[in-house]
Amino acid sequence: MRLDKFLCRVNLGTRSQVKEYIRKGLITVNGTVCTRPEQKINEITDTVCFQEKPLIYKQFVYYMLNKPGGVVSATRDSACKTVLDLISCDEKSGIFPVGRLDKDTEGLLFLTNDGALAHMLLSPRKHVDKTYLVTLAHSLSTDDVTHLEGGVDIGEDKPTLPAKVKILSELEVLLTIQEGKFHQVKRMFTAVGNCVVHLKRISFGPLSLDETLRPGEYRVLTEKEIHALYEGTNAQK
Same-domain check for residues 198 and 144 = yes
User: Is pLDDT of 214 > 80?
Assistant: yes
Q: How far apart, in whole angstroms, are the C-alpha atoms of residue 193 and residue 155?
A: 14
d(CA 226, CA 63): 10
Tell me the catalytic residues.
102
pTM of the model: 0.82
Q: Check whether residue 133 and residue 200 sit in a common domain.
A: yes
The CATH number of the domain holding residue 8 is: 3.10.290.10
Residue 200's nearest CA partner among 114, 113, 116, 102 is 102
Q: What pLDDT shows up at residue 237?
A: 53
Task: Looking at the structure, tell me whether residues 104 and 158 fall in a common domain.
Answer: no
Which residues, listed in sequence order, are joined to residue 235 by a DSSP beta bridge?
A: none
Residues 36 and 10 grouped into a single domain: yes
Q: Structurally, how many domains does the chain consist of?
A: 3
**With 90 as the cut, is the pLDDT of residue 89 above it?**
no
C-beta atoms surrounding 166 within 10 Å: 11
Among 14, 32, 54, which residue terminates a domain?
54
State the pLDDT at residue 234: 63
User: Closest by alpha carbon to 200, among 191, 188, 208?
Assistant: 208
Instruction: Examine the domain organization and report whether 119 and 225 are in the same domain.
Output: yes
Higher pLDDT, 178 or 8: 178
Of 54, 70, 95, which closes a domain? 54
> DSSP letter at 211?
T
Same domain, yes or no: 69 and 101: yes
CATH number reported for the structural domain that contains residue 153 in this entry: 3.30.70.1560
Residues 112 and 225 in one domain: yes
Instruction: Pick the range with the lowest mean pLDDT from 110-114, 121-125, 188-192.
Output: 121-125
Over residues 30-53, the pLDDT tens digits come to 999 999 999 999 988 999 999 999
Query: Is residue 188 domain-shared with residue 156, that is, in the same domain?
Result: yes
Q: What's the CA gap between 92 and 84, in Å, rounded?
A: 8
For residues 182-207, average pLDDT: 97
What was the pLDDT predicted at 228? 95
Please check whether residues 7 and 69 belong to one and the same domain. no
Give the residue numbers spanning the domain of 192. Answer: 129-204
Confidence band of 10 (pLDDT split at 50, 70, 90): confident
Mean pLDDT score of the chain: 93
Amino acid, single-letter form, for residue 50: F
Residues 71 and 98 in one domain: yes
Tens digits of per-residue pLDDT, 122-154? 998 888 999 999 999 999 999 999 999 999 999
Is 43 found in the same domain as 109? Answer: no
Mind listing the pLDDT tens digit for each residue in 48-70? 999 999 998 888 889 999 999 99
What residue spans of the chain are helical by DSSP H? 3-9, 15-23, 115-122, 142-150, 184-191, 223-233
pLDDT at 119: 93
For 175-191, give one letter per residue: b (16+ CB within 10 A) or e: bbbebeeeebbbbbbeb
Residue 124 has a pLDDT of 86
Assess whether 84 and 46 both reside in one domain. Answer: no
CATH number of the domain that residue 226 is part of:
3.30.70.580
Tell me the pLDDT band of 90, cut-offs 50, 70 and 90.
low
